[in-house]
Chain A
Amino acid sequence: DTGVSQDPRHKITKRGQNVTFRCDPISEHNRLYWYRQTLGQGPEFLTYFQNEAQLEKSRLLSDRFSAERPKGSFSTLEIQRTEQGDSAMYLCASSLKDRSYNEQFFGPGTRLTVL
């Protein structure tokens, strides 16, 4: 299967710990997006990359959050000093920029629980 993959699928951590999630996009896709989905809500945009450049960040992305895409392929999202409010599903999506709009394909998500 060549869809978007995310690892881990579930993460339970204690408040104050750091966590890192990984996203592997569809291989030829040059854009990669991170979204966060809390219970009962739709996903909210966090940030996106075109190749290795991070081109936009939401105000939701506090200083404790950092995302990288060092070689323009996979991406990592790190949360430092986790708080209970960080508990959510973190979704990754990828797309290929070749037209005015490009469909975003989503991965299964990483569910984070902060105790």
Chain B
Amino acid sequence: AQSVTQPDIHITVSEGASLELRCNYSYGATPYLFWYVQSPGQGLQLLLKYFSGDTLVQGIKGFEAEFKRSQSSFNLRKPSVHWSDAAEYFCVLTGGGNKLTFGTGTQLKVEL
């Protein structure tokens, strides 16, 4: 069975500070991994994806994530957070099939 764990339910950071959202996964092979963002009243938007190759992937809005096979992790980072980044972030896994498995999400609050 595949699963995704996001250990932080809520995170608060100050605008301009750096951000790291944690994600651990469980899967028997190399998964496809994603980070999605969900803002109130808006659909889920893909931030970035990892399929293979370079373990550091760049996404939209200045986000990046690093795949670490030895730690079964795929943490999301941003060097300087903007107030508009406040949203819920989901780490997502698929084994290459059609079903996406989502983590429970991390709610990001940005203090001005």
Query: Which of A64-72, A78-86, A106-114 is found at the contact surface with chain B?
Result: A106-114
Query: Interface code A12-52, partner B: CB below 8 Å = 1, 0 otherwise?
Result: 00000000000000000001010100001111110010000
Q: Please classify how large the interface on chain B is, using the bins under 10, 10 to 19, 20 to 34, 35 or more.
A: 20 to 34
A91 adjacent to B44 (CB under 8 Å)? yes
* Contact residues of A: prevailing secondary structure: loop
**Is residue B59 within 8 Å, beta carbon to beta carbon, of the partner chain?**
no
Query: Assuming the A-B contacts A91-B44, A108-B41, are A101 and B32 also in contact, with contact meaning beta carbons closer than 8 angstroms in the complex?
Result: yes
Which B residues touch A33, using CB under 8 A? 98, 100
A residues contacting the other copy or chain, number (CB 8 A): 25
Q: Please tell me if the beta carbons of B44 and A43 are within 8 angstroms of each other in the complex.
A: yes
What's the minimum C-beta distance from B38 to chain A, rounded to whole angstroms? 9
Q: Is A63's CB within 8 Å of the partner chain B?
A: no
Q: When the two chains form their complex, are residues B99 and A56 in contact, meaning their CB atoms are under 8 A apart?
A: yes
Of the candidate stretches B60-68, B69-77, B102-110, the one touching chain A is B102-110
6 closest A-B pairs by CB: A42-B102, A106-B44, A106-B43, A45-B99, A108-B43, A48-B98
> Which residues of A are in contact with B by a Cβ distance under 8 Å?
3-4, 31, 33, 35, 40-45, 48, 55-56, 58, 91, 93, 100-101, 103-104, 106-109
Listed by A's residue number, 6 A-B pairs whose Cβ atoms lie within 8 Å are A4-B43, A43-B90, A45-B100, A91-B43, A104-B100, A108-B42
